[in-house]
Structure 1
Amino acid sequence: MKKTFSILFILSLFIISCSSNSDETIQNKKITINFIHEWDGTPVTKDDFGELKFTNENGEMVSIELYRYVISNIKLVDPSGFETPLKDYLFIDLGEEQNLSYTIEGLFLDRTYSLDFTFGFDDDDNTDGAYADLNTANFNVPEMLGGGYHYMQFDGKYTSETQTTEAGFNYHAIRAVDNTDPDNIVYQDTSFSVSLEGNWLKSTEEVINVKVNIAEWFKNPNTWDLNELNQMLMPNFDAQVLMNANGKTVFSL
């Protein structure tokens, strides 16, 4: 009887020890998310700015002068739909190398998750003047266009067969607005959700590499013609809807 009790006691200590170690692993997850920018497989960094070195789907030569954007409501979602929030939003600036990598520690995770976020802000979060760092960065949208914030500012220059000298473009994504009739202004939320499924969370430290293919803004599903759509895109309702469609293939793993 005493021998049996001793064996059971040792086994219970072993089980508790294993459970404790497992819980410690689960509760001390460290997630690092890297945003890796490219142009159809060619890495893009701030060192590539200012040169006509990229070719878009329409055949124009393109340079990048500014590339910065917001993603919001960043979270991990398990197969049952349970959400683990990571951050309210990130302001990513490629030229300034700002927030190209984000790390969060002390997570309680024990299964495979997808990484979900919103490109830009949805209407509930797109509150005028609410974010101090975005105000400082002049990321605001003018009140006449509905206020709130940009989703993205993508500036550069281009040349083409018909535009042989360098011309500028401002590919700025915001909430679409049609204010041609001041008494009947039409708004459309053109932010969009991204869900990236991966086989992560097998160890205490995980790295998620998010590929950001800048070229996709110009090609899928709409081939973008910079000769036609280059400036004054913020008040262009139809252009904002096209950007929304093209942006949905920009992010991948």
Structure 2
Amino acid sequence: MKKITTLLILAITLFTCNEDNTIISPKVNFTFNHHWNNAEINNDNLQTTTVTNANGEAINIDRFRYLTSRFELTNTNNETYTFDGYKFTDLAIADTYNFSPENNAIPSGTYTLKFVWGFNETDNIDGAYPDLNTASWNWPEMLGGGYHFLQFDGMYNVDTTDASPFNFHNGTARVSEGVFEQNFAEIAFETPILINSDTVINIDMNIAELFTNPNIWDLNVLDTPLMPNYDAQKMMQQNIMSIFNLGEITQ
């Protein structure tokens, strides 16, 4: 059975020592970097860059916000360390690109990383998080309640005279009236991560993949409203599985 160890207990009871018998409890921080294929997207150019999706539609981005949670590192002894908290990222605010969990010291070792896109069923509690409520991040009760996982808004066909808005919002999937399906995704990386001192784990997001793999997204068909559209929500979940890659590890 996988051993689950809380970081609070870990900070008190688990440690490694170097040759001088000095306690080593490396701390881990996460930084998210955002791209559209090879072009960096950040707070400086978010609303001024025109990109083209796999379906050939020219796009301007007005807003891009998303939620990740349940960050976990599992070592070669199959011991898993789960970090408290969640990460709410707004590409318009550079400070939100980083996630520094509290009580995050772990033993030196080799790990693999996993986290949740959005909230899982246990965490996705309607109205439970004041900061997300303030950010107008709530998912409508009639669609299952809880919170958004993604808000991606902009204009498409901006290179024509027929530019139109899109609202690519992801969250709980409504099957039918009063029937809902969890729609979060587990993002796991197989690449081993060696941690023997304070470490920054960079995670790269390719936003273009939201419209690419495995579903080529046609905004002329699926632009608004997508929140109550079950098929659109499940297609989003499928595409989300390919948007993240493990980036540089710095110590």
Could you tell me the TM-score, scaled by structure 2's length? 0.85
Distance 2:172 2:42 in 1: 27
Larger radius of gyration: 1
- Name the SS of the counterpart of 1:18 in structure 2: coil
Letter in 1 for 2:54: E
1:210 to 203, 214, 218: 203
Q: Offset of 1:61 from its aligned partner?
A: 0.4
Q: Amino acid of the residue matched to residue 29 of structure 2?
A: T
* Contact preservation (8 Å) 1:175, 1:189: yes
> Which runs of structure 2 are paired with 1:83-232 in the superposition (5 Å)?
83-104=80-101, 107-159=105-157, 164-179=161-176, 182=177, 185-232=178-225
Structure 1: any 5+ residue segments left out of the alignment?
Answer: 1-15
User: 2:27, 2:106 within 8 Å by CA — same for their partners in 1?
Assistant: no
The counterpart of 2:27, out of the listed 27, 30, 43, is 30
- How far does residue 164 in structure 1 lie from its aligned partner after superposition? 3.4
The more displaced of 120-129 and 79-88 is 79-88
Please tell me the residue identity of whatever aligns with 2:218: D
Partner residue in 2 for 1:41: 38
Q: Distance in 1 between matches of 2:95 and 2:126?
A: 23
Aligned to 2:85, the other structure's residue is in SS state strand
Cα deviation for residue 47 of structure 1 reads 1.9
How far residue 78 of structure 1 moved from its aligned partner, in angstroms, is: 1.6
CA distance in 1, matches of 2:67, 2:104: 25
Q: How much has 1:167 moved relative to structure 2?
A: 1.1
Distance 1:19 1:82 in 2: 26
* CA apart distance, 1:160: 6.8
Opposite residue 242 of structure 2, the aligned amino acid is T
Query: Are 2:113 and 2:189, in contact at CA under 8 Å, matched by a contact in 1?
Result: yes
Equivalent pairs, count: 229
Contact 1:175 1:188 in 2 (8 A): yes
SS class of match (1:107): coil
SS in structure 2 of the partner of residue 228 of structure 1: coil
Distance 1:108 1:56, change over 3 A: same
